[in-house]
Amino acid sequence: MAKAGLPQGTRDFSSEILKKRTYILETIKKIFQVYSFEPLETPAIENISTLLGKYGDEGDKLIFKVLNNGLNDPKNIEKSKKGFEDLLAGKVSEDVTSRALRYDLTIPLARFVAMNFNNIYLPFKRYQIQQVWRADRPQRGRYREFTQCDADIVGSYSLSCEAELANIYHDVFAALGLNRYELKVNNRKVLAALARKCGGNNKLIPLTVAIDKLDKIGIEKVEEELKANGFTDEQVQIIKKFLDITGTNQQKLDTLNEIFVNDEEGLTGVKELTNVIQHTKEVNISIDLTLARGLNYYTGVIFEAKAPKEVNMGSIGGGGRYDDLTGLFGVKNIPGVGISFGVDRIYDVLEELNLFPKNIFFGPDVLFLNLGESESSKSMELLKPLRKRNFSGEVFHEQTKIDKQMKYADRKNFNFAAIIGPEEFSQNMVTMKNLKTGEQQKILQSELFNFLSKFLHK
Amino acid sequence: MAKAGLPQGTRDFSSEILKKRTYILETIKKIFQVYSFEPLETPAIENISTLLGKYGDEGDKLIFKVLNNGLNDPKNIEKSKKGFEDLLAGKVSEDVTSRALRYDLTIPLARFVAMNFNNIYLPFKRYQIQQVWRADRPQRGRYREFTQCDADIVGSYSLSCEAELANIYHDVFAALGLNRYELKVNNRKVLAALARKCGGNNKLIPLTVAIDKLDKIGIEKVEEELKANGFTDEQVQIIKKFLDITGTNQQKLDTLNEIFVNDEEGLTGVKELTNVIQHTKEVNISIDLTLARGLNYYTGVIFEAKAPKEVNMGSIGGGGRYDDLTGLFGVKNIPGVGISFGVDRIYDVLEELNLFPKNIFFGPDVLFLNLGESESSKSMELLKPLRKRNFSGEVFHEQTKIDKQMKYADRKNFNFAAIIGPEEFSQNMVTMKNLKTGEQQKILQSELFNFLSKFLHK
């Protein structure tokens, strides 16, 4: 007998949880749509060659690989043996695993665009809300199967894209009641310019790794780390000046323009930031020069969305511009810019702040109690036209104690119980019990639709 | 460089296709909901022990197995070697593959019910619409990743469940415009009784395999096959009498009652069929005594839904009662009854009969052309309140030739183009071009919302 259990890091979503998840996902989806993004769905299984080498060595290890079928077919067995040897030596072999589970939604997007380049029109604005899988160590808030929720614009260099995406963040968080979210923004070109000022491009990684820690370890430790990584005193002074930049967004932009006066790419980065700031007047946006986010990937503006400060949650979204999306698949010079929402974390934030609207928890509309054969047949007959008009409900499946039936109504959170006993039956009446208020009222059966319409809008 | 491609038997769903799929899935979901079914989602990855042995030997082979991670970790390597040897010998080894992809939605439901038995209330009415994976040979209409769409009632012996499910079939097909669908119904107990009359239970499989072919090969060949399988002349005569049963549902029920007058289980089966027929007056239901459907699984009423005869498609849904759902996971005596919709086939049927409603193809509401910086800033400003009121749209991302912008509007199927050139800009006007009719009209910018509301209902 199989023991009923779930793999580590995976979850069932009951109706209770799905009501809340659906609320979040539908809110986001509706806003993607009013910004005229269109949906895309890609398969969970991709060719392993599509995924490998795209997420770094660590990423490659975290990809869930699918075993080929027919490994012990006589015609395959030699290849399978060889393939297993490769696996034991730490190499992925397509002879035994030629497919893998989607790891994110960006590489599948790139693959899709490359495959369909002659049939899509640019800019291609797509949103995608699907599961991804990662063989990460599960922990609080980190799962092996989880939902990603992305919007990307492919094929446009216009900075209006960045502004649109920042406005989407605002609209989504406002719609969810997270008015005190923060959207941090930085630019990869600015960070590259800083690295250039401090010893060249090969300093970019140690530099950003260090300044990324400023929040946690403070400026003195950052200074130590920089020196340990071979930055000169003079370079450390430049970096400190950079990190000391405070003030309003405009003040920060002004200072950056001074620092990078002789660096063309740096000035371009500042100009891009300026443009985004100018076109996001409603957004809680702030320039954060310590923001780094997967640098080898992004090439321009980068975003990170933070939960309101009163919740200890950190990032609830992120994104940025990457200027060669599809080059990996042989289609050159197609830029992209996108954002992502951390659905699981947003769920936890809304839960903690008690922000889920009450009405999403409403159960079905009406449970007809089952009090005998003629009575339940009559109930069935009355229910039919109600269902046609979008009222939800059922007749309890068997004639049993009223207590038990009412308990079922309660557990399933029905709005009304409809009771047709022998008396109601003979009078063409039905007793309606409002399960939220406890009020009870006997009405004509022919009045059912009007009665329910008064309470429940359809 | 990775070649951009998809694994065999998998598909991307573009926005065009998703509009149609969403129409089907939302129609079904809404009807599940008015019948007060509640949603459930389970993970794509299950423990392999949950899935193995549930779908027969053939099924076990078609399950996609996921490789464990860390196979070449020093601490795992001996187990990995042993596991690979097992795989090469045709045995599944949890040392190298402890997880697998969901193969259907029924076993995950059973697993969920067993795990949560103390927290759910019976009858548990759940619907589930998720992907499943099978390593089948792909062919027209058969995919390796496809959507299943199930509704099941767990924990009730009441025949009202069967009637409800038959009515759901009717409501869904009627809502989709497939009014000439057929719902075939039979009962496993009736087939068991026939086998008993013809040599006992071990004859059930060859008997049903033979009669299942009646449609295709005709009665004479069926007779031959039965004799080849050791049925006596007398037994073949009984079977022929059974297969000769024609007429209305009521006439069939009458004849069955005669044939099985001495077989208690057979009579129970006929009684169950009678009850379902009585409670499905609106349904295109017909008793089909040749209907078999995975006998070792079902224990009572079985269903199969067929597309309208004018389409050569066959089954577009099926289901039935299985009286020990969760026994496999240690929770005894929990009956279940469920139905499934074949979403991919329904899609093909609607396509062939041209039944997708026109309005599902509408694109976004309005594209503001980009005719200069001040003009596009103004457009952005006008778009904002429209989006807040659920109108969808965008400002074209860059200032370029009008032709190119109009082509984009056309490809993306926008309803309106909004044009603010220098003249409109100075007059606070906007020229609205209806892209469906070609009509053009200059209106005040302040009238935009009212103008769009006249054409597009939000």
CB proximity under 8 Å: B 155-214 to A? 156-158, 160-161, 164, 171
pLDDT at A295: 61
What confidence tier does A271 reach under pLDDT thresholds 50, 70, 90? Answer: very high
Task: For chain A, give the longest Cα–Cα distance.
Answer: 96
3-class DSSP state of A215: helix
Contact B202, B340 (CB under 8 A): no
pLDDT at A364: 97
- Shortest Cα–Cα distance, A80 to chain B (Å): 8
Contact A314, A307 (CB under 8 A): yes
pLDDT tens digits, one per residue of B193-218: 999 988 777 788 888 888 888 878 88
What is the DSSP pairing of strand B393-395 with strand A366-368?
unpaired
Q: What is the DSSP string of B265-317?
A: HHHHHHHHHHHHHHT-TTS-EEE-TT----TTT--SEEEEEE--TTS---EEE
**pLDDT-wise least confident of A25-39, A286-300, A330-344:** A286-300
pLDDT tens digits, one per residue of B44-86: 999 999 999 988 888 999 999 999 999 999 999 999 999 999 9
Q: Summarize the confidence of residues B12-40 as an average pLDDT.
A: 98
Chain B CB contacts of A45 below 8 Å: 7, 10, 64, 133, 144-145
Residue A441, both tokens: 């009222």
With CA atoms as reference, the chain B residue closest to A33 would be: B392
- 8-state DSSP, A104: -
Residue B20, both tokens: 């149609």
pLDDT at B427: 97
Please give the C-alpha separations between residue A210 and each of A224, A241, A328, B409, in angstroms, as whole numbers: 9, 15, 30, 47
Chain A CB contacts of B160 below 8 Å: 376, 380, 395, 397-398
Which of B14, B106, B374, B435 to probe by mutation at the A interface, max A CB count within 10 Å? Answer: B14
Half-sphere exposure for A222 (CA within 13 Å, toward CB)? 22
- Tell which residue, A283, A346, A320, A7, has the closest CA to residue A147: A346
Delimit the CATH 3.40.50.800 region(s) of chain A: 363-456
Q: Summarize the confidence of residues B15-39 as an average pLDDT.
A: 98
3-class DSSP state of A62: helix
**Measured between alpha carbons, how far is B37 from B385 in angstroms, rounded to an integer?**
38
Task: For chain B, give the longest Cα–Cα distance.
Answer: 96
Whether residue B282 is predicted with pLDDT greater than 80 in this model: the reply is yes
pLDDT at B244: 84
Helix (H) or strand (E) holding B85: helix B77-88
- pLDDT averaged over chain B? 94
pLDDT tens digits, one per residue of B389-424: 999 999 999 999 999 999 999 999 999 999 999 999
Which fold would CATH assign to domain B182-301?
A: BirA Bifunctional Protein; domain 2 (3.30.930)
As for the ipTM of the complex, it is 0.94
List, in sequence order, every residue forming a beta bridge with A433; answer none if it has no partner. Answer: A417, A440
**Count of other CB atoms within 10 angstroms of residue A261:** 9
- Shortest Cα–Cα distance, B231 to chain A (Å): 36
pLDDT at B139: 85
List, in sequence order, every residue forming a beta bridge with B320; answer none if it has no partner. Answer: B302, B338
Chain B CB contacts of A145 below 8 Å: 43-45
pLDDT tens digits, one per residue of A169-201: 999 999 999 999 999 999 999 999 999 988 777
**Measured between alpha carbons, how far is B76 from A121 in angstroms, rounded to an integer?**
49
**Measured between alpha carbons, how far is B207 from B209 in angstroms, rounded to an integer?**
6
CB proximity under 8 Å: A 339-368 to B? 364, 367
Whether residue A219 is predicted with pLDDT greater than 80 in this model: the reply is yes
Q: Summarize the confidence of residues B173-180 as an average pLDDT.
A: 97
Interface contacts A/B by beta carbons within 8 Å: 265
With CA atoms as reference, the chain B residue closest to A114 would be: B4
Residue with tokens 């490659």: A60
B3 and chain A in contact, CB less than 8 A:
yes
List, in sequence order, every residue forming a beta bridge with A320; answer none if it has no partner. Answer: A302, A338
Stronger pLDDT, A55 or B399, i.e. the higher one: B399
Whether residue A138 is predicted with pLDDT greater than 90 in this model: the reply is no
Residue A191, both tokens: 């960070």
Contact A231, A199 (CB under 8 A): yes
pLDDT at A133: 98
User: Which residue in B13, B46, B414 is closest to A41 by CB distance?
Assistant: B13
Contact A46, B7 (CB under 8 A): yes
Q: Summarize the confidence of residues A40-61 as an average pLDDT.
A: 94
Whether residue B328 is predicted with pLDDT greater than 90 in this model: the reply is no
What confidence tier does B295 reach under pLDDT thresholds 50, 70, 90? Answer: low
**Measured between alpha carbons, how far is B377 from B368 in angstroms, rounded to an integer?**
11
3-class DSSP state of A118: coil
Delimit the CATH 3.30.930.10 region(s) of chain B: 13-63+103-178+307-361, 182-301
The reply to whether residue A412 touches residue B38, judged by beta carbons under 8 angstroms, is yes
**Count of other CB atoms within 10 angstroms of residue A76:** 17
Helix (H) or strand (E) holding B428: none
The reply to whether residue B7 touches residue A47, judged by beta carbons under 8 angstroms, is yes
pLDDT at B12: 98
What confidence tier does B1 reach under pLDDT thresholds 50, 70, 90? Answer: low
The beta strand positions in B92-212, using DSSP E, are 99-101, 124-133, 145-154, 182-187
pLDDT tens digits, one per residue of B422-453: 999 999 999 999 999 999 999 999 999 999 99
Q: Which residues of B337-347 are buried (b: 16+ CB within 10 A; e: fewer)?
A: bbbbbbbbbbb
Whether residue B312 is predicted with pLDDT greater than 80 in this model: the reply is yes
User: In degrees, to the nearest 5, what angle opens at C-alpha A328 toward C-alphas A83 and B407?
Assistant: 135
Instruction: Tell me how long chain B is.
Output: 458
- pLDDT averaged over chain A? 94
What confidence tier does A203 reach under pLDDT thresholds 50, 70, 90? Answer: confident
Q: Which CATH number fits domain A13-63+103-178+307-361: 1.10.300.10, 3.90.1150.10, 1.10.10.10, 3.30.930.10?
A: 3.30.930.10
pLDDT tens digits, one per residue of B219-275: 899 999 999 988 999 999 989 888 888 899 999 999 999 999 999 999 999 999 999
- Tell which residue, A305, A304, A312, has the closest CA to residue A352: A312
**Measured between alpha carbons, how far is A117 from A107 in angstroms, rounded to an integer?**
15
The beta strand positions in A252-378, using DSSP E, are 285-287, 301-306, 315-322, 336-342, 366-368
With CA atoms as reference, the chain B residue closest to A389 would be: B34
Residue with tokens 């140690």: A206
Which of B1, B18, B42, B67 to probe by mutation at the A interface, max A CB count within 10 Å? Answer: B67
pLDDT at B58: 87
Chain B CB contacts of A378 below 8 Å: none
pLDDT at B211: 85
pLDDT at A378: 96
pTM: 0.95
User: Which residue in A30, A36, A123 is closest to B364 by CB distance?
Assistant: A36
Residue B5, both tokens: 């491609």
B58 and chain A in contact, CB less than 8 A:
no
The beta strand positions in A249-362, using DSSP E, are 285-287, 301-306, 315-322, 336-342
Which fold would CATH assign to domain A363-456?
A: Rossmann fold (3.40.50)
With CA atoms as reference, the chain A residue closest to B85 would be: A81
Stronger pLDDT, B21 or A225, i.e. the higher one: B21
**Measured between alpha carbons, how far is B360 from B22 in angstroms, rounded to an integer?**
9
